[in-house]
């Protein structure tokens, strides 16, 4: 997040202004930063929250937004005020913010990296009005007398809708307050709240966008306002489709390589098929990743929405089920055995899943009230599992590699274990690495250096063919009756804390065994991992029919094991002690 990345003010005030707390700039992402990130193993930078958003900070040509429309002093980066502009907070000279952003794009490309930005298709700020392309502002030609019209950009409230009728009333510390801009009409809130009085728990600062489908009837049907197919000329699509296509084309022309799509499951699938096809024609390598949740009742498909989005052309979809299951395992509600069903390794999406151990919506691994209060090192086994599962992209959230804990309240969200996206602030753990914008490790603690080196080795290994092109074989199912598979306190069956799997690529004849202990406090003793005959046959031809196999760790432990191949199904690979919160990536030779 650009706001956090280069900000070195370590004494911010709760609910502080930009002047009080500081703010990262585009210029802070300099050549030194990019070189360091490239060496870490990063290939793409997702610049979070760069689009112009509703904010309490005023500029000469841009007044501050009403406090009623803001969560935090900085404002939500997902309440977009102008899709064609970037946040002036991030510019050294706010009047030249687009020029400074373009210069950043060039720096990123020069260092061999690619740029991803947010695309927020479901909603915009209530104050949305484009200065760059005013003719493409949403709602300019809407019929405000209709709840739904296929060519309206918004959904409009009627006198019979809940909440007491006009004017729209927004939540505040003093109760609902009339919002003058919507005194003659009201618009449905971004999370589908059809009310004249949205609650503090709603996305009240945003307005839901209309893609030519009435979301109240459920997913689109061919017999009810059928939506256009891929290849349809823009003039024959709903107005919102045309405007969104112009927005994405604008950023592609500027040099953006891809988009992280916010709440993609709340948009009709037909739009995605049409839109991604158009973006791909402009740039065959354009990258689309979807934040999406199949368990959200707001999804606009009857089937699994993650599968549907991949079919529509998305390169990757969020893997929330596996993330949540691993977090729950560390905190005591699940077992590592549950990871197999959560990851769904037989589904097409398994190798299209974007896997993360942190992101801006989730709590920090090192936060004091989460992850069993394990501290930064819990990221080692958690990331080792998530990053190695499939061929899809893997995401490292800025500050994860330096053990950011996000302890303490910053403003709107309170002390919730997250780095606030609503407030001006910094990442205290990252400041020593920023090191007066030299971006090196000289000021990091020994523990931070160790963690950062772990992630560097993990990312390097995950760039090997076995992980980028290979297949997956889970081993927990074959070890549940194995008494030496990490049992503690008389547990039965095995597989509470220990998780292991293999990855192999036939073309490169490369294979790995991944082993992780998710227990935050206890070592596992006498660990032996049985590798069944089917798994040995599954390995590449190079590994088959060998009398012995050698297993060498690539994550820095320098450990090596050798086993007689024919004994692996029965006696297993004897690992011995596996410390708490540790992981091994064993290259099989």
* CA separation for the pair 273, 252 (Å, rounded): 18
Q: Name the average pLDDT for the chain.
A: 96
The answer to whether position 575 is within a domain reads yes
The whole-number average pLDDT for the span 378-391 is 98
- pLDDT tier at 223, thresholds 50, 70, 90: confident
pTM: 0.97
Judged by DSSP in three states, 547 sits in coil
Residue 528 has pLDDT above 90, yes or no: yes
With tokens 């910094």, the residue in question is 426
With tokens 């977090």, the residue in question is 327
- Where does 244-380 show beta strands of DSSP type E? 258-261, 287-290, 316-318, 353-356
* CA separation for the pair 187, 156 (Å, rounded): 5
Check: CB of residue 149 under 8 Å from CB of residue 182.
Answer: no
* 258, 263, 264, 269: CA torsion to nearest 10: -160
Domain carrying residue 529: 465-588
The answer to whether position 520 is within a domain reads yes
Q: What is the DSSP string of 39-76?
A: HHT--EEEETT-EEE--S--BTTBPPPPGGG-SSSS--
Q: What is the pLDDT of residue 245?
A: 98
The answer to whether position 43 is within a domain reads no
- pLDDT tier at 300, thresholds 50, 70, 90: very high
Structural domain count of the chain: 1
504: phi then psi, degrees, rounded to nearest 5: -145, 145
CB atoms within 10 A of CB 135: 8
Structure tokens at 142: 């809407």
Q: What is the pLDDT of residue 543?
A: 82
- Where does 357-506 show beta strands of DSSP type E? 394-395, 471-474, 498-505
The whole-number average pLDDT for the span 508-532 is 97
Rounded percentage of the chain residues whose pLDDT exceeds 90: 96
Q: The CATH number of the domain where 530 resides is what? A: 2.60.40.1180
555: phi then psi, degrees, rounded to nearest 5: -95, 10
The answer to whether position 65 is within a domain reads no
Check: CB of residue 402 under 8 Å from CB of residue 433.
Answer: yes
- From residue 338, alpha-carbon distances to 16, 323, 476 in Å are 43, 11, 9
The answer to whether position 39 is within a domain reads no
The answer to whether position 411 is within a domain reads no
The answer to whether position 389 is within a domain reads no
Q: Where does residue 562 rank: exposed (0-12), middle (13-18), buried (19+ CB within 10 A)?
A: exposed
Structure tokens at 300: 């606009």
The whole-number average pLDDT for the span 504-523 is 97
- pLDDT tier at 535, thresholds 50, 70, 90: very high
Structure tokens at 90: 């991030």
- pLDDT tier at 458, thresholds 50, 70, 90: very high
The answer to whether position 479 is within a domain reads yes
* CA separation for the pair 245, 248 (Å, rounded): 5
- pLDDT tier at 166, thresholds 50, 70, 90: very high
* 197, 203, 209, 213: CA torsion to nearest 10: -80
């Amino acid at each position: 997040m650009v706001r956090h990345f280069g900000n070195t003010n370590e004494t911010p005030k709760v609910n502080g202004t930009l002047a009080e707390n500081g703010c990262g700039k585009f210029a802070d992402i300099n050549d030194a930063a990019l070189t360091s990130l490239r060496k870490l193993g990063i290939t793409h930078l997702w610049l979070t929250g760069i689009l112009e958003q509703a904010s309490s900070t005023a500029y000469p040509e841009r007044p501050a937004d009403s406090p009623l429309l803001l969560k935090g002093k900085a404002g939500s980066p997902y309440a977009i005020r102008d899709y064609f502009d970037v946040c002036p907070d991030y510019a050294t000279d706010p009047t030249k913010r687009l020029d400074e952003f373009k210069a950043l794009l060039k720096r990123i490309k020069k260092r061999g990296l690619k740029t991803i930005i947010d695309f927020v298709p479901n909603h915009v700020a209530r104050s949305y009005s484009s200065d760059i392309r005013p003719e493409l502002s949403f709602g300019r030609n809407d019929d405000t007398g209709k709840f739904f019209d296929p060519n309206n950009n918004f959904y409009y409230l009627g006198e019979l809708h809940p909440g007491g009728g006009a004017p729209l009333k927004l939540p505040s510390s003093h109760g609902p307050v009339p919002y003058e801009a919507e005194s003659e009409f009201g618009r449905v809130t971004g999370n589908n709240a059809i009310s004249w009085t949205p609650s503090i728990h709603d996305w009240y600062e945003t307005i839901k966008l209309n893609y030519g489908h009435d979301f109240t009837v459920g997913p689109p049907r061919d017999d009810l306002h059928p939506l256009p197919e891929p290849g349809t000329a823009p003039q024959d699509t709903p107005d919102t489709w045309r405007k969104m296509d112009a927005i994405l084309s604008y950023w592609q022309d500027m040099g953006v390589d891809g988009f992280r799509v916010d709440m993609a499951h709340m948009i009709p699938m037909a739009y995605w098929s049409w839109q991604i096809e158009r973006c791909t024609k402009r740039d065959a390598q354009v990258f689309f990743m979807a934040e999406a949740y199949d368990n959200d009742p707001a999804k606009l498909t009857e089937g699994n929405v993650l599968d549907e989005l991949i079919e529509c052309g998305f390169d990757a979809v969020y893997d929330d089920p596996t993330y949540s299951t691993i977090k729950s395992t560390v905190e005591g509600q699940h077992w590592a055995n549950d990871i197999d069903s959560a990851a769904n390794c037989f589904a097409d999406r398994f190798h299209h899943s974007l896997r993360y151990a942190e992101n801006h919506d989730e709590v920090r691994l090192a936060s004091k009230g989460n992850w069993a209060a394990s501290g930064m090192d819990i990221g080692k086994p958690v990331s080792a599992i998530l990053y190695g599962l499939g061929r899809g992209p893997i995401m490292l959230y800025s500050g994860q590699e330096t053990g950011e804990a996000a302890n303490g309240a910053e403003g709107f969200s309170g002390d919730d274990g997250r780095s606030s996206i609503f407030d001006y602030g910094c990442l205290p753990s990252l400041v020593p690495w920023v090191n007066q914008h030299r971006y090196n490790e000289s000021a990091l603690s020994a523990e931070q250096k160790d963690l950062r080196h772990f992630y560097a080795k993990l990312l390097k290994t995950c760039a090997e063919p076995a992980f980028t092109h290979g297949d997956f074989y889970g081993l927990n199912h074959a070890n549940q009756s194995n008494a030496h598979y990490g049992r503690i306190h008389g547990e039965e069956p095995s597989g509470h804390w220990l998780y292991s799997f293999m990855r192999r690529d036939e073309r490169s004849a490369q294979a790995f065994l991944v082993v992780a202990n998710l227990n935050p406090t206890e070592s596992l003793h006498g660990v032996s991992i049985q590798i069944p005959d089917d798994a040995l046959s599954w390995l590449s031809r190079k590994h088959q029919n060998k009398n012995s196999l050698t297993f060498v760790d690539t994550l820095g432990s320098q450990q090596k094991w050798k086993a007689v191949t024919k004994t692996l199904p029965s006696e297993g690979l004897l690992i011995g002690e596996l410390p708490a919160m540790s992981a091994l990536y064993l290259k099989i030779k």
